[in-house]
Amino acid sequence: MTQATQKKAILSIDHVAVHFGGLVAISDMTFDVKEGELLSLIGPNGAGKTTAFNVVTGFLRPTKGEVHFRGIPLHKLKPHEIASTGLVRTFQKTSLFTTNTVFENVLTGLHRHGNASPWATLLALPSMKREEAQLREKVWEILDFIGIAHRANELGGSLPYGEQRLLGVAVALAADPSMLLLDEPAAGMNPSETADFMTLLAKIRKRGISILLVEHDMPLVMGVSDRIVVLNYGKIIANGTPAEIQANPEVIQAYLGQGVKHAAA
């Protein structure tokens, strides 16, 4: 058992169901993420993974059940209110300001933490200028941390797709999260980039940030996860360590096939 799994839950999902008319996207989902843990949510296409993300982050209301983050009931909050609690997500489809530079994308993410008053901004008072300088310094720190500082002056939309995914993570980190929800962050990355991303995940965790990960790359999932929850047809069919998941007959039949390397999203 890892140190993370011995800690208390930071995120709790309790008997959540999501119905779209007669379609059951999630029938009954219960799991939690511990403080400092990296938990991966995997399963075949249509299993309910992104739906689960959308419920946790307020983009969907559950038909029944509750979601709590640090004791706060998220199922009653709007997405921007949830982000302000410290729970921040990335999206399966890259959501960037494609005509703004990489630097400007991250700076935009930081400005929600600014304290300068509208008058200070309008009059360009010294307090506003100091704050702006601090924010810009923070942007460089985040870009260095992610490894894309050399792209700072390039347009977000001009980056290779794998680096666009990294920029999405950088923008999420600008919101100063205590927990990150990453929706297929390694999509479009080559093997070298994926290996670097695994290292980045370890660095993020060293900052005390808990992670809930949806990802189709099974070697990555097995290499970084403390625990894995497996969804199939809107139901949890397994919850355990990577070794337990790889050996679970129901998971092998439903998703992994004859080996991790053959797994599909």
pLDDT digits (tens, 9 = 90+) for 18-58: 998 888 899 999 999 999 999 999 988 888 888 998 999 99
Instruction: Quote the pLDDT of residue 118.
Output: 42
User: Do residues 86 and 11 touch, judged by C-beta distance below 8 A?
Assistant: no
Residue 57 CA to residue 31 CA, distance in Å, equals 15
For residue 100, count other CB atoms closer than 10 A to its CB: 15
Q: Residue 5 pLDDT more than 60?
A: no
**Domain ranges for the chain:** 1-86+177-265, 97-176
Q: Cα–Cα distance between 202 and 244 in angstroms, integer? A: 22
**Is the model's pLDDT at 4 over the cut of 70?**
no
pLDDT confidence of residue 80? 87
67-109 pLDDT, tens digit each: 999 999 998 899 889 988 999 988 766 667 788 899 999 998 8
What is the rounded CA–CA span in Å between residue 42 and residue 78?
26
Give the mean pLDDT of the chain. Answer: 85
110 with 172: CB under 8 angstroms? no
State residue 94's pLDDT score.
62
Quick one: pLDDT band at residue 265, thresholds 50, 70, 90?
Answer: very low
For position 9, what pLDDT does the model report? 92
DSSP string, 4-27: GGGSPEEEEEEEEEEEETTEEEEE
Q: Tell me what pLDDT residue 121 has.
A: 42
Single pTM value for the model? 0.85
Q: Does domain 1-86+177-265 have CATH number 3.40.50.300?
A: yes
Residue with tokens 């007959």: 249
Percentage of the chain beyond pLDDT 90 is: 55
pLDDT tens digits for 115-158?
Answer: 544 434 444 556 667 778 888 899 999 999 999 999 999 998 89
Whether 3 has a pLDDT exceeding 60, the answer reads no
Q: What is residue 14's predicted lDDT score, i.e. its pLDDT? A: 95
